[in-house]
Structure 1
Amino acid sequence: MTGATRAGQVGYAQLSTADPASWRATGTAWAQLVGLAERRAAELAADAAALRSRWSGQAATAAEDRLSDLRAELRTLAPVAIEVDQVLAEFAARLTAARARLAAAVTLAATAGVLIDRWGRTSPDPDRVPIHRAGPTVVPVAAAIRDALDLASAADREAADRLDRLSAGAESGWVTRPPPGRPAPHTDPALVNRWWAGLSAAERRWLVGHEPELIGRLDGIPAAARDQANRLLLGARRAALLERWGQLLGRVPRGPAELLGLRAVDAALTGLDALADRLASPELPRAYLLGLEVGGEGRTVVALGNPDRAAGILTHVPGMTAGLDGATDELGRAARVLSRCAELAPGQETSAVLWLDYDAPDFLHEAARDGQARAAGDALHRFQEGLRTTHDGAPARQTVLGHSYGSLVVGSAARDHGLAADALVFVGSPGVGVGHAAELGVPAGQVWASSAPDDVIRLTRPPDELARQAVLSVSPLATIAGMLAGSDDERWFGRDPTDPSFGGRTFPSGRYGHTGYWHPANPALDGMARIVVGQ
């Protein structure tokens, strides 16, 4: 009989009955303290203003100083509360992974004829396994159980240590002002990370609380710190949208431009509120807000699961019309790939990132040009480099997926700047800006593409043919028909990446149209997930 639990280790019964959702819910409750702290700080500011107008003298000054100190303490509490939420969410995620490994071990035992007692000890089923085959049968099951318990024990120790350090900070001081000198925007992520690593935990918390706009957008800062900073900015971003809404609403008479602007702000507000709901949700995996801008149609970068801890990372780059108003829809697509990854690789931590940090085209004539894709290339390059730089432990398998115009963004970034990626995936692509997979700079055999049989993108033709058709056509309808009547292997932006001559690899898709690659019944969803987990 093998598999007895070692001292200090999570036991078989503990892991079997553990509830990751309860830990996640506890973290969410901590995160909700942020809103409470912000409201109390605002009330104290109002109280201080009222005092100044009615009271003066030494006692009044002392009272105002005390109110200021209280506001500072409340501001300090906010990032700490978010950090507790992160710790408990990551513990819940690792506990979920450990339980998946344990479930796989139990399934293996049932198949192999191995009995498991309530302490997790294993023995051969005498009715199914001859005595001379007991060793080779029992050992793999016992090893799988140990692996699951070891993961749970490591997660438990790490979460306890992180919470102990936070608790100690309450006495020694959570925040300390760091020395001068900050990385400029667009600094190499490796240099940013080196600067960040040289700061103390208290100095980092000060920066998150006092300079969230800087910390929230710097590639090379760990995901946890960026998430804390951007969540602190969320309310201010919403206030900026509401202010813009009020400005547009107050213009009388309103012309077409103002009406369009009003609709755009309304859509962005709707999208931001939906995103805020997902960020506040106790749902697993936890969402990490890595970037947020509300100007124009809005931009955001959101990770499901901490990419710094994951063994596999998917970066999802959406295409035409993508904006803040549809961010949660795009995030849902990434989530479906993540869910399928969990089915294919139980116990493996995977993260999916929605990278919507570029100005996506809104209209067909914009999407027929590559300017917006080329403008996005450097930012996507830096983001992927940042993921490599901030990752804990062994390097993750990084997959970058571009859909529709997003595939051109990915291809252009790989061509012009290079991408820290182990695999590239193109779905519903109008071309990726190169004629052959070898020009993308990723390992041979790791450029993948899929195109649904009924995807309208199959009908596009190259830009020079579009221009010629536009000149020669006598009817606007004829021009549009010409735009959607290309050759079999040429798209708007080069050779079709699903064509054999492109030199990549393909995976199948069912007939689900241009946006149906993530449909649960589409084999393309399984294909994308297998690439992410390296299967």
Structure 2
Amino acid sequence: MNSYARLWAADPEGWRGAGAAWGGLTGRFDRWGGELATGAGRLRGGWSGDAARAADGRLTGLRVELTSVVPALVEADQVLAELAGRLRAAKARLAAAVEAADRGGLRIDRHGRVSAAPFGALPTAQVGPAVAQVSQAVGAALAIADAADREATRRLVELAGAAGSGWSAEPPPWRPGPDAEPALVRRWWAGLTPAQRRWLVRHEPGRVGALDGVPVADRDQANRLLLADRRAELLAERGRLLTRFPRGPAEVAGLRRVAAALTGLSALTDRLSARETPRAYLLGLRTGGEGRAIVALGNPDRAEHVLTYVPGMTAGLADATGELGRAGRVQARCAALAPGAETAAVLWLDYDAPDFLHEAFRATQARDAGPALHRFQDGLRATHEGPPARQTVLGHSYGSTVVGTTARDHGLATDALVFVGSPGVGVQHAGELRVPAGQVWSSTAPDDPIRLVRPPDDLLRRAASAVPPFGPVGGLVDRPDGGLWFGRDPSDPGFGGRTFGSDRSGHTGYWEADNPALDGMARVVLGR
């Protein structure tokens, strides 16, 4: 059992560093596997016969053994990172209990026993209830640490035992399809043995990494195995474009896109391998088009509060880490407001975001994204451990249109919706979004140009009236019906939602540290 003194002295960052050290070995094993593959290729070019075939088979076997270790290294990193996160939350709760004891003139001994100090600050009648309240808070903190300690021990013992024997075993042949209901996927995955799951992660990472309903930890292991392949896809595309002559505008644009995606992928890989807190989990990655990524900060399967952030126009793999930073700033503010709670933040960039205004003027891409976002949120519900988390989905700009149309057309497994800088969310009233009453929130900065985006019929009427395009804009902003391009402004009082304030920060400043909008987003995520 964790004592008060032991928890007070615990070093969560030491456990996080130990996990990152295990995870950091994956690059070394990948490099060794690549060197074996290169060496085997050279041998095939100059050696033939039975001995050559035997050597090639042996090198192939060694390479398989090396690469099969990688998921275990990732799993060790996951276990220790999650232990660190839960110890951090337990210590925060313990610190809050000590602060409450100090305010009340109470004492806590090294065993966690609470008593009244001589000449305490509380009246006699209040001492008993105060001692009970602080004792309960200390006990809750110790209980979190105990549970984290036991679980980490169990998982590491199982991992070590599996590495010795029975590491992986081929599962039965049936697999759920890519669009299967997450609840079905979760039942299938739960019915497999740990050895069968590890076999699937190792041999079918593309399938496992993309299936909503597979636990976050397993998807993370699978998708990390695919990072080298995704980089190779981009390099191959660049090679094809470089061989085309004459090189027209399409090829030049393609080369720029691939270069940006490669830069974005490198930045994302660096974040995945960093020792930063919280740990990042890779839940999806594609390189086609502008590229797509789903990345979580913290494990959504274990967090009390889970934010899913959907970015807007021009978002792609090239700036995935920048968009992830926005989600991370909301999470950091949540940690500041509720240091004893666990919050995970997910960047959901698994749709084709508009790149140009003529695309953003249509809801086509928002509608196309709906089934995937709906399925992803259902997957978070299906795989969450313990009591249900409070889930919040946040959309910025065109991302708010994605969120709104998905909620309208398919429903969203969420407890709250948040829209910032929205051009409209596809409905005229919050009641059409099918979420709990009072849990639709919005914020629009006073100087956000999105407030000028008006429905096509309104723009046509104004053009017909020859409204000067660069004249006073007061009449454009203060429309009596609150209409925007994709429906009524969710920040308009008539929409039926709730609002929180924002400074004059333009269209992208909602996440700035001194903007009250950041605090507003965090408070919605926490249910405050």
Offset at residue 469 of structure 1 (A) = 5.6
Residue 110 of structure 2 corresponds to residue 118 of structure 1: yes
Structure 2 counterpart of 1:446, from 439, 446, 450 = 439
| Aligned AA (1:443) | P
Superimposed CA distance per residue, residues 390-435 of structure 1 (whole angstroms, 9 cap, x where no aligned partner): 1111111110011111111000000000100111111111110001
In structure 2, the CA distance between the partners of 1:367 and 1:395, relative to structure 1 (3 Å rule), is: same
Look up the SS of the partner of 1:32 in the other structure: helix
Partners of 1:462 and 1:486 within 8 A in 2: no
Q: Which residue of 1 aligns with 2:179?
A: 186
Look up the SS of the partner of 1:72 in the other structure: helix
User: How many residues end up aligned between the 2 structures?
Assistant: 526
Give the TM-score of the pair, scaled to structure 1: 0.94
Which segment is superposed worse, 464-473 or 104-113? Answer: 464-473
Offset at residue 249 of structure 1 (A) = 3.0
Structure 2 counterpart of 1:300, from 256, 281, 293 = 293
Offset at residue 467 of structure 1 (A) = 4.9
Residue 27 of structure 2 corresponds to residue 43 of structure 1: no
Which segment is superposed worse, 340-349 or 283-292? Answer: 340-349
Distance in 1 between residues matched to 2:228 and 2:479, nearest whole Å: 50
| Aligned AA (1:68) | T
Q: Which residue of 1 aligns with 2:66?
A: 74
Offset at residue 111 of structure 1 (A) = 1.1
Distance in 1 between residues matched to 2:403 and 2:224, nearest whole Å: 27
Superimposed CA distance per residue, residues 181-205 of structure 1 (whole angstroms, 9 cap, x where no aligned partner): 1111111111111111111111111
In structure 2, the CA distance between the partners of 1:247 and 1:10, relative to structure 1 (3 Å rule), is: same
| Aligned AA (1:257) | A
In structure 2, the CA distance between the partners of 1:464 and 1:37, relative to structure 1 (3 Å rule), is: same
Q: Which residue of 2 aligns with 1:229?
A: 222
Offset at residue 478 of structure 1 (A) = 7.5
Which segment is superposed worse, 253-262 or 403-412? Answer: 253-262
Offset at residue 465 of structure 1 (A) = 2.6
Distance in 1 between residues matched to 2:198 and 2:458, nearest whole Å: 56
Structure 2 counterpart of 1:388, from 356, 381, 386 = 381
- Structure 2 stretches of 5 or more lacking a match? none
Superimposed CA distance per residue, residues 438-479 of structure 1 (whole angstroms, 9 cap, x where no aligned partner): 11000111111111111111111112233556788799x679
| Aligned AA (1:358) | Y
| Aligned AA (1:101) | R
Residue 156 of structure 2 corresponds to residue 166 of structure 1: no
Superimposed CA distance per residue, residues 196-225 of structure 1 (whole angstroms, 9 cap, x where no aligned partner): 111111111111111111111111111111
In structure 2, the CA distance between the partners of 1:483 and 1:205, relative to structure 1 (3 Å rule), is: farther
In structure 2, the CA distance between the partners of 1:182 and 1:486, relative to structure 1 (3 Å rule), is: farther
Q: Which residue of 2 aligns with 1:364?
A: 357
In structure 2, the CA distance between the partners of 1:472 and 1:297, relative to structure 1 (3 Å rule), is: farther
Q: Which residue of 2 aligns with 1:242?
A: 235
Distance in 2 between residues matched to 1:474 and 1:529, nearest whole Å: 40
Partners of 1:368 and 1:463 within 8 A in 2: no
Offset at residue 159 of structure 1 (A) = 0.4
Distance in 2 between residues matched to 1:418 and 1:338, nearest whole Å: 25
In structure 2, the CA distance between the partners of 1:363 and 1:478, relative to structure 1 (3 Å rule), is: farther
Structure 2 counterpart of 1:502, from 491, 495, 502 = 495
Residue 242 of structure 2 corresponds to residue 264 of structure 1: no
| Aligned AA (2:313) | M
- Structure 1 stretches of 5 or more lacking a match? 1-8
| Aligned AA (1:30) | W
| Aligned AA (1:122) | V
Structure 1 counterpart of 2:415, from 392, 410, 422 = 422
Which segment is superposed worse, 75-84 or 14-23? Answer: 14-23
Superimposed CA distance per residue, residues 285-341 of structure 1 (whole angstroms, 9 cap, x where no aligned partner): 100000001111111000000000011110000111111111111111111111111
Which segment is superposed worse, 425-434 or 134-143? Answer: 134-143
| Aligned AA (2:37) | A
Offset at residue 54 of structure 1 (A) = 5.2
Look up the SS of the partner of 2:226 in the other structure: helix
Offset at residue 343 of structure 1 (A) = 1.7
Offset at residue 245 of structure 1 (A) = 2.0
Superimposed CA distance per residue, residues 336-387 of structure 1 (whole angstroms, 9 cap, x where no aligned partner): 1111111222211111000011111112221111111011011100000000
Q: Which residue of 2 aligns with 1:348?
A: 341
Q: Which residue of 2 aligns with 1:94?
A: 86
| Aligned AA (1:12) | Y
In structure 2, the CA distance between the partners of 1:447 and 1:215, relative to structure 1 (3 Å rule), is: same
Distance in 2 between residues matched to 1:320 and 1:52, nearest whole Å: 49
In structure 2, the CA distance between the partners of 1:58 and 1:243, relative to structure 1 (3 Å rule), is: closer
In structure 2, the CA distance between the partners of 1:64 and 1:255, relative to structure 1 (3 Å rule), is: closer
Offset at residue 179 of structure 1 (A) = 1.4
Distance in 2 between residues matched to 1:86 and 1:248, nearest whole Å: 39
Residue 174 of structure 2 corresponds to residue 153 of structure 1: no
| Aligned AA (1:45) | A
Residue 304 of structure 2 corresponds to residue 317 of structure 1: no
| Aligned AA (2:322) | D
